[in-house]
């Protein structure tokens, strides 16, 4: 889910607030027949050693197409993009959809590696994956944790990010701002983060992962009538042996209750300065974003070519609830670079 400080904006409270384009195919022509939606799986899956991980990922589209990396969030998985991927593949893009650390078939290469969920670690996994797949530059798009990682990649490694699509906008975690209390209604929205801060919450999440995450799906997308089969396809990813450890660390780290790793200190210092995103970007808001739908709170942090899209009647899982609109945003922003 998005960071708690941004929720203060959503509640109406003020927030603190080489294959480069020239040599890559444009991949923006409209397919002769509309690509159907309602897919249940991807064209192919693969594994690759990348940095600290053996990363599992779904893939679609031509191998020589301009690359797009699609990043999921919590509590979701690659199936958030099960309809977006073929839409983009039909437009000529090479689509890569990785399981994040702690999800699906992605595994840590070493048992001794700390199961870290902090934002710099999760974002650096994207760069390691690009290196492993020999992708110098890509369009990066995401929602929830995935949007945060996409923002971080665009902000800290703009030379690797051709363009950006980010649901909920600029959601880089601000640890200092997170120390300040919010109004009661805003705090209520983050009940699960406070639950995760306790031993009981960690034990409860470990015991009830399937049902807990289904509740989050329902609360975050109250108008999305997903069925049990749709949820269960993603829920299989939560059985990853590192899932609970990574998730719990992520939310405790955000609240300052668990330390990050020193290896990421420099990246976190740079992120604390709220670096602008200079690459072409489209941000998307949905009903989940409440009063902050207009994107005004973070507009100043995007200094390159920019557009904002508002999707009414859509919840938090934007790519799965509105795959055509999400894919259209990727196609459009790719055409700017």
DSSP secondary structure string, 62-103?
A: -TTSPEEEEE--TT--GGGGTTHHHHHHTTT-EEEEEPPTTS
Asked whether the predicted pLDDT for residue 282 surpasses 60, the reply is yes
Pairing mode, if any, of strands 94-98 and 53-60?
antiparallel
Q: At what angle do helices 228-235 and 209-220 cross, to 10 degrees?
A: 120
Span 333-337, average pLDDT: 96
Residue pair 267/122 in contact (Cβ under 8 Å)? The answer is no
DSSP secondary structure, 222-249, as one string: TT----HHHHHHHHGGGG-TTHHHHHHH
Tell which CATH architecture fits domain 4-335: 3-Layer(aba) Sandwich (3.40)
199-218 pLDDT tens trace:
999 999 999 999 999 999 99
| Backbone angle region of 89, left / alpha / beta, with phi > 0 → left and psi within -120 to 50 → alpha | alpha
CA dihedral 281, 282, 288, 289 (to 10 degrees): 70
Residue pair 276/170 in contact (Cβ under 8 Å)? The answer is no
Span 131-137, average pLDDT: 98
Span 107-136, average pLDDT: 98
Asked whether the predicted pLDDT for residue 196 surpasses 90, the reply is yes
Question: What is the pLDDT of the chain when averaged over all its residues?
Answer: 91
Residue pair 285/293 in contact (Cβ under 8 Å)? The answer is yes
Distance CA 2, CA 206 (A): 21
Q: Where are the domains of the chain?
A: 4-335
- Residue whose C-alpha is closest to residue 102's, from 70, 132, 72: 72
Position 3 scores a pLDDT of 54
**Rounded to two decimals, what is the model's pTM?**
0.91
Reported as a pLDDT band with limits 50, 70 and 90, residue 291 is confident
17-60 pLDDT tens trace:
333 333 333 454 444 466 779 999 999 999 999 999 999 999 99
> Helix or strand or coil: residue 49?
strand
Whole-number percent of the chain with pLDDT over 90: 85
Position 317 scores a pLDDT of 98
Of residues 119 and 36, more confidently modeled? 119
Asked whether the predicted pLDDT for residue 185 surpasses 90, the reply is no
């Amino acid at each position: 889910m998005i960071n708690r400080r941004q929720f203060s904006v959503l509640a109406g409270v003020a927030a603190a607030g080489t294959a480069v384009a020239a040599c890559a195919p444009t991949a923006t022509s409209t397919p002769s027949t509309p690509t159907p939606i309602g897919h249940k799986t991807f064209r192919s899956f693969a594994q690759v050693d990348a940095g600290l991980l053996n990363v599992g990922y779904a893939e679609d589209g031509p191998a020589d197409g301009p690359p797009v990396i699609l990043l999921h969030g919590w509590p979701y998985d690659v199936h958030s993009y099960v309809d977006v991927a073929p839409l983009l593949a039909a437009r000529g893009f090479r689509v890569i959809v990785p399981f994040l650390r702690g999800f699906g078939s992605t595994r840590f290469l070493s048992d001794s590696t700390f199961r870290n969920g902090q934002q710099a670690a999760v974002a650096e996994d994207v760069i390691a994956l690009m290196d492993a797949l020999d992708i110098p530059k890509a369009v990066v798009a995401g929602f929830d944790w995935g949007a945060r990682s996409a923002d971080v990649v665009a902000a800290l490694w703009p030379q690797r990010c051709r363009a950006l699509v980010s649901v909920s906008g600029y959601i880089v975690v601000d640890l200092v701002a997170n120390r300040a209390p919010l109004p009661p209604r805003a705090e209520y929205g983050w009940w699960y983060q406070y639950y995760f801060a306790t031993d009981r919450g960690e034990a409860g999440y470990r015991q009830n992962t399937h049902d807990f995450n289904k509740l989050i799906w329902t609360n975050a997308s109250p108008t999305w009538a997903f069925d049990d089969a749709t949820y269960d396809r993603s829920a299989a990813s939560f059985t990853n042996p590192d899932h609970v450890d990574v998730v719990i660390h992520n939310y405790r780290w955000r609240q300052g209750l668990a330390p990050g790793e020193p290896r990421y200190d420099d990246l976190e210092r740079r992120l604390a300065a709220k670096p602008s995103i200079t690459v072409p970007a489209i941000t998307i808001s949905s009903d989940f974003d409440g009063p902050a739908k207009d994107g005004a709170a973070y507009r100043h942090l995007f200094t390159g070519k920019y557009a904002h899209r508002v999707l009414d009647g859509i919840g938090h899982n934007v790519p799965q609830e509105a795959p055509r609109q999400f894919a259209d945003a990727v196609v459009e922003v790719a055409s700017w670079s």
